[in-house]
Amino acid sequence: MAEEVTLLDFWASPFGMRVRIALAEKGVKYEYSEQDLRDKSALLLQMNPVYKKIPVLVHRGKPVCESLIIVQYIDDVWRDKAPLLPSDPYERAQSMFWADFIDKKIHDLSRKIWTTKGEELEAAKKGFFECLKLLEGELGEKPYFGGETLGYVDIAFLPFCCGFSTYETIGNFSIEAQCPKIIAWANRCLQKESVAKSLAEPGKVHELVLEIRKSLGFD
């Protein structure tokens, strides 16, 4: 029986990229449905009537929304390959804590780097590096946040790496100079086909950000 999996997504969405990586890790075949966020489709509004946002995973006609919840769902449904969350309850809770930290901190601060200027930009840069340092501490000497294999926290964080070069250009800083372990980790992850084929090209992300900044009157 076919799995009947469809992903409603937008190519540059870091949240959508999480789902793409998880599906690739599990080897799940799916239909990709690119969405126009300025003219939301009837399908998107039907499948996510509460938030009206991507990504939405539609599995056998039933929608699952919110990227981290979707990744957890994928891990629960396709359990026979590449576990993403630890089985140990404490380790599982820690993974969920750090993924939530990325959602609440990294997402907000990285966006502020390219949507603010002056003192607000400087504050965002300071906060961004404070968060990266905390993540470096959590990574430690492990190859992945999940230990020896790619896991939930890696998937939560990796999509933001597509914007690293853009943040550096706009913010006039070097992530590698201050957080070399994060860059080494990102490069290690990019060696995996499941990651490389699921992330947006940094150059295209940069072009999109410049377009948005221009529309906001920054450039």
Taking residue 200's Cβ as centre, other Cβ atoms within 10 Å add up to 19
- How would you class 51 by CB atoms within 10 Å of its CB: exposed for 0-12, middle for 13-18, buried for 19 or more? exposed
Instruction: List b or e across 137-151, with b for residues whose CB sees 16 or more CB atoms inside 10 angstroms.
Output: eebeeeebbbeeebb
Q: Do the first three CATH levels of 5-77 and 89-216 match, i.e. the same topology?
A: no
189 close to 154: Cβ distance less than 8 angstroms: yes
5-77: CATH class: alpha beta
Compute the distance between CA of residue 156 and CA of residue 216 in angstroms, rounded to an integer: 28
Q: Which residues pair with 9 in a beta bridge?
A: 34
Report the distance separating Cα 7 and Cα 20, nearest Å: 8
What whole-number distance in Å separates Cα of residue 9 and Cα of residue 36?
9
For residue 66, the 8-state DSSP code is S
Question: What is the structure's pLDDT at 219?
Answer: 66
CA distance linking residue 72 with residue 78, whole number of Å: 10
DSSP 201: P
Could you tell me the CA-to-CA distances from 209 to 29, 36, 144, 169, 173 in Å, in that order?
Answer: 30, 17, 28, 11, 17
pLDDT of residue 1: 39
**CA-atom Rg of the chain in angstroms:** 17
Q: Hey, CA dihedral for 19, 25, 26, 28, is it positive or negative? A: positive
pTM value is 0.96
For residue 202, give both structure tokens. Answer: 């940094």
Query: Could you tell me which CATH number the domain at 89-216 has?
Result: 1.20.1050.10
Would you give the DSSP letter of residue 216? Answer: T
Three-class secondary structure of residue 39 per DSSP = coil
Classify residue 7 as exposed, middle or buried by CB count within 10 Å of its CB (0-12, 13-18, 19+).
buried
Give me the pLDDT at residue 3, please.
72
pLDDT along the chain (219 residues), means of 10: 84 98 98 97 98 98 98 97 96 98 97 95 98 98 96 98 97 97 98 98 96 87
For the chain, the domains span 5-77, 89-216
